[in-house]
Chain A
Amino acid sequence: MAAADTTHGVDTPTDVQLWQKAVDGETAAFGVLFERHVRAVYNACFRRTGDWSVAEDVTAVVFLEAWRRRADVRFVGESVLPWLYGVAANVLRNRWRSTRRHRAALLRLPPPEAEGPIDDDVAGRLDDERRMRDVLALVALLSRRDREVLEACAWSGLSYEEAAVALCVPVGTVRSRLARARKRLREAEQHAASGHPVPERTTVEETKP
């Protein structure tokens, strides 16, 4: 998590400080926050969508949404990243709506093919997408709420407290959902190993998140 950094003897502004500067009119500070967290957000979006191209668009929407909702920001310690994960979860949950809201901005984003060959391993990205689709098929056995906790804690490395902020639920709920998700996945793997079909998910969700 990003926080005050005094490496090389130079104080690096915290997320809180940058956010405050951005809101106060120093908009370049938001650019620093973007650079600091875009990789984490981008990868979280990929893990939800299984598609690197889609994850790019969603990443843009997440930061546009974060700015639009800047009055609602929450920090864990000095870090805004858990809250950004929460924004991402909300965007992905209501993707059609979020995308429509920022349609004008997204139209200015050229299609990937217009930018020539990707400067990375194309085959590797395709392989990632295949792998991720398999993972998503497996976790589709979980309820949406359990899946979001699994993504936040197990995949994005958030602590229980950070996941609680990201998902707007109590810490105890994070623990119980994660335990349930892991148990369910273990059972699914055991069924798969035994050659038996994986049973359908029974909807057992809290009445309130």
Chain B
Amino acid sequence: MTSHATPPGERDLPAGRFAHIKGIVMDEVARTHAPRRAQRRRTVSILAAGLLLAMAVGAGAYVLRPADQFASLGCYSTAARDADVAVVSTDGRDPEDVCAELWASGEVGPTTQVPPLTSCVGEGAGAIWVLPGGRGVCERLGLQRLSSVAVDPDAPSVPELRDALIAHFGGRECIDIERARDIAQAELGGRGFDGWTVEAREFADTDCASFGLDVAEQLVFIIGMPGPDSLQAALGQATEADCLDAEQASAAARQVLSERGLDDWTVQVEQETFDGNQAAVDGGIEGEVCAQFSAADGVVYVVGVIFERH
């Protein structure tokens, strides 16, 4: 160590400050103390709600039909649209049975006592919402009761199609768009999904195929995920290890662009995503707001996203 880079000696906290700081720390410890397992459950539920939302607002909403064609469902902790919700995939069982099990294990609500449950056809995303409450609970939220919707017993199974596509696209292999189209067409044809189509969306040259389903539109859409050589992958590396704020992320993006000779690209911070998500975290959503990148048409967009901290 050089002499000029030697810090001064250590000191104690002033006595008054020590007492105050310890006081607020211990107040917080007492206020927030809870068995960790219970906190984890809640976090999972909240994140799962985010997933459901992502399904709803994504470019190709994962729209589901009622009865045995649904591929996922949400078990709501209260009969309210903004309730905590545990989202699960199903194996074809009655959705109320699935949610009753989760209630009984304490995964959904504040109690393990299972309330009366009613299945509704969710709005927007079309997922199944299982709400606590009896007759009329769906209608009170402006939803249809699942049991009131006609079911086609001969319809091919969407969950089976989903699982088959996951088996193709869920591995490490990078599948290009043409092969992805062929795979999806073959699965649709072989399973009796007549009238369904395959559509490619947002696919760049360096991307690897993933997929989404839109049951209402009878559509398998192929979407591009960044391949290992893409700009998006390089940007993703910058946020892989650290939770970056907007300023740090902008600097990281500029460095990646510079390294790739993309000096004509610009970096644009979507500040409202940082502010809005931070407000959600401050309001009690567990997690922290970290930067994510999205690159398109000469612009790297920097957005703030809530991550669970681990």
Q: Which residues of A contact B7 (CB under 8 A)?
A: 46-47, 131-132, 135, 155
User: Would B21 and A38 count as touching, CB distance under 8 A?
Assistant: yes
Tell me if B167 counts as interface (CB < 8 A to partner A).
no
Q: A39-B10, A128-B8, A208-B241 are in contact. Are A154 and B282 (CB under 8 A)?
A: no
> Least Cβ distance of A117 to chain B in Å?
9
Q: Which of B1-36 contact A (CB under 8 A)?
A: 1-2, 4-18, 20-30, 32-33, 35-36
Selected A-B contacts with CB under 8 Å, 19 pairs: A27-B30, A28-B26, A35-B22, A38-B13, A38-B21, A59-B13, A63-B25, A64-B28, A94-B245, A119-B14, A119-B15, A131-B7, A134-B4, A135-B6, A138-B4, A182-B2, A185-B2, A186-B2, A208-B237
Q: Which residues of B contact A101 (CB under 8 A)?
A: 281-282, 288
- Which residue on A lies nearest to B8, using beta carbons? A128
- Point out the residue from A43, A97, A209 that lies within 8 Å of B288, measured CB to CB: A97
How far does the alpha carbon of A60 sit from the alpha carbon of B1 in the complex, in Å?
A: 30
Q: Which residues of A contact B241 (CB under 8 A)?
A: 168, 208-209
Q: Which of A112-166 contact B (CB under 8 A)?
A: 112, 115-116, 118-120, 125, 127-128, 131-132, 134-135, 138-139, 150, 154-155
- Point out the residue from B24, B27, B288, B309 that lies within 8 Å of A72, measured CB to CB: B309
- Point out the residue from A30, A56, A154 that lies within 8 Å of B29, measured CB to CB: A30
- Which residue on B lies nearest to A131, using beta carbons? B8
Across chains A and B, the number of contacting residue pairs, with CB separation under 8 Å, is 146
- Chain B interface SS verdict (over half): helix
> Least Cβ distance of A7 to chain B in Å?
21
Tell me if B243 counts as interface (CB < 8 A to partner A).
yes
Chain B contributes a number of interface residues (CB within 8 A of A) equal to 48
How far does the alpha carbon of A74 sit from the alpha carbon of B281 in the complex, in Å?
A: 25
Q: Which residues of A contact B9 (CB under 8 A)?
A: 128
Tell me if B72 counts as interface (CB < 8 A to partner A).
no
- Which residue on A lies nearest to B247, using beta carbons? A96
7 other A-B residue contacts (CB within 8 Å) besides A34-B22, A93-B248:
A30-B26, A60-B25, A90-B243, A109-B21, A150-B5, A154-B1, A208-B240
